[in-house]
Structure 1
Amino acid sequence: MPDITQYISTQDEKEIIDAIKQAEKNTSGEIRVHLENKCPEDDAFDRALQIFEKLEMHKTELQNGVLFYVALEDHQFVICGDKGINDAVENNFWDTTKDIVISHFKQEKYKQGLVEGIIKAGEELKKHFPYQSDDINELSDDISK
């Protein structure tokens, strides 16, 4: 089984984490990225929901967590937002963000796709969940695998 680093290098991971930190600077929202080679479920959205729960993203105070789930070998990608953010954004927001990410993935620019999607999600989170002086980072910015 190919290593994830075939798709996303250690340096790419650092840049993705930096994008998460940048995106979260102006919002109380939380963004996570989960990478795996293959999706062990028949449906990638079901898998994303499992990871969302495993990472305890549903426990944020304002229900404003966003997960970028990627199964690299299977070419599966899901953006999964919690209730608070899903209720706030326009209906097509996740689709337009997903289109940006996938357009880069098709060119094998995985890092660039994730970075641009994360920044776009952060801008939307900022509109609905602006940073408050007492905000704490509720979830790790590290990439889970």
Structure 2
Amino acid sequence: MDFKRMLRHLMIPTWQVKRRFPEPLLAQVESAIRASESAHRGEIGFAIEGGLDLADLWRGVSPRQRALDAFASLGIWDTEENTGVLVYIQYADHAVEIVADRGISRHVPPEQWQAICRTLEARFREGDYATGCAAAVSAIGDLIATHFPKTDGNPNELPNRPVIL
């Protein structure tokens, strides 16, 4: 058990996460997702989590495991063509994970998602949350559009609004 990690997670107040991801930034991300989804048949979800609870910390849950849990609980998998993609931000660990549904993951290798994650993490280290989030959504949208371009009758299957878990 990593006690430093445990303290870091338990000491992150909700207000600190909301200060880094204020309402105007969440609205910008929502707009970026909406604009991106107008060019392809995928769905992009965006979730931000401050710190894990004690039970998850005790079990040693990784950011990747939490991202997979969030992907399922937010229903990102529930799209007609299995083209949902979740951007998961674990604030306490300064980690970014991208989880792609099986429809899109057949076409995009993990290394491309990881490159987007590393770029977003670098922007966060610089304190540039807005540009980082917009660039990540744009890059994800470009990857989806390459394999699942827009067609007539492209419904919005999932909410575009980022969530703070």
AA aligned to 1:67 is L
Secondary structure at 2:163's aligned position in 1? Answer: coil
Report if the CA contact (8 A) 1:35-1:71 is conserved. yes
Gaps of 5+ in 2: 1-12
Offset from partner CA, 1:97-126 (integer Å, 9 cap, x none): 112211101112222211101100001100
Aligned runs of 1:48-87 on 2, under 5 Å?
A: 48-87=67-106
Gaps of 5+ in 1: none
**Alpha-carbon distance in structure 2 between the residues aligned to 1:77 and 1:17:** 18
Q: If you compute each CA radius of gyration, which structure gives the higher value, 1 or 2?
A: 2
Report if the CA contact (8 A) 1:39-1:74 is conserved. no
| TM-score for the superposition, normalised by structure 1 | 0.93
Question: Following TM superposition, by how much is the alpha carbon of 1:74 offset from its aligned partner in structure 2, in angstroms?
Answer: 2.8
**Alpha-carbon distance in structure 1 between the residues aligned to 2:95 and 2:115:** 16
Report if the CA contact (8 A) 1:39-1:76 is conserved. no
Residue 34 of structure 1 pairs with residue 53 of structure 2: no
**Alpha-carbon distance in structure 1 between the residues aligned to 2:141 and 2:27:** 17
Match of 2:9 in 1: none
Match of 1:111 among 126, 130, 148: 130
Match of 2:143 in 1: 124
* Number of residue pairs aligned between Structure 1 and Structure 2: 145
Residue 142 of structure 1 pairs with residue 125 of structure 2: no
Secondary structure at 1:11's aligned position in 2? Answer: helix
Secondary structure at 1:57's aligned position in 2? Answer: coil
**Alpha-carbon distance in structure 2 between the residues aligned to 1:35 and 1:26:** 24
AA aligned to 2:93 is D
Secondary structure at 1:80's aligned position in 2? Answer: strand
Match of 1:24 in 2: 37
**Alpha-carbon distance in structure 2 between the residues aligned to 1:91 and 1:48:** 14
Match of 2:114 in 1: 95
Question: Following TM superposition, by how much is the alpha carbon of 1:91 offset from its aligned partner in structure 2, in angstroms?
Answer: 4.3
- Structure 1 runs of 4+ aligned residues shifted over 3 Å read none
Secondary structure at 1:92's aligned position in 2? Answer: helix
**Alpha-carbon distance in structure 2 between the residues aligned to 1:58 and 1:26:** 20
**Alpha-carbon distance in structure 2 between the residues aligned to 1:52 and 1:91:** 16
